[in-house]
Amino acid sequence: MNNNSNGRGPNDARPFNLHLRLPPLPRSARTGREALAALAAFHDVASSDVEGLTFALGEALANAIEHADCNSEIEVSLTIDARTIVATVQDRGCGFDHTPTDTLPFPAVNAEGGRGFPIMQRCTDFFEVRSLPGDGTVVTLGRHRRDSLEGRSLGGFKPRR
């Protein structure tokens, strides 16, 4: 018998997905960070596995809010499985034509901007940006779960072998 309200058994290794649609307002960055933290806590993800990703997600949301230049909702997808935690942020804004592929340097100390992507890269294990002018931007951020690699509790998940 399964007593979980989500209909999953205690040894279910399927990914868990949460999708949010957030208004392009500054408070939405906090909402996204809090959703990720709550989801990770619910699934017993070690704090060391989620802290950097939470910070990077806040940066990605702040970028979408500040630079997308549109009033459309920002879509956030959060996925947790036995091995990874992934956050995807998608806006329908103005987009841009140069997407980063290499590790980006930090700007000069006195520069007013340009830190978002370098911060996201350094707070995650994998980072991808897809953008086209007039078609919006998708930022994918992820971390490998060290708790699954170290044999700690997986919150009901069993690693795939």
The tokens 């930022």 sit on which residue?
139
User: Following DSSP, what letter does each residue of 41-74 receive, concatenated?
Assistant: HHTT--HHHHHHHHHHHHHHHHHHHHHS-S-SPE
Task: Enter the pTM of the model.
Answer: 0.80
pLDDT in tens, 128-154: 999 999 999 999 999 999 876 554 444
Question: Could you give all domains of the chain from N- to C-terminal order, each with its CATH number?
Answer: 16-149 (3.30.565.10)
pLDDT in tens, 34-76: 999 999 999 889 998 899 999 999 999 999 999 888 999 999 9
| Cα 120 from Cα 63, distance rounded (Å) | 11
pLDDT > 70 fraction of the chain, expressed in percent and rounded = 78
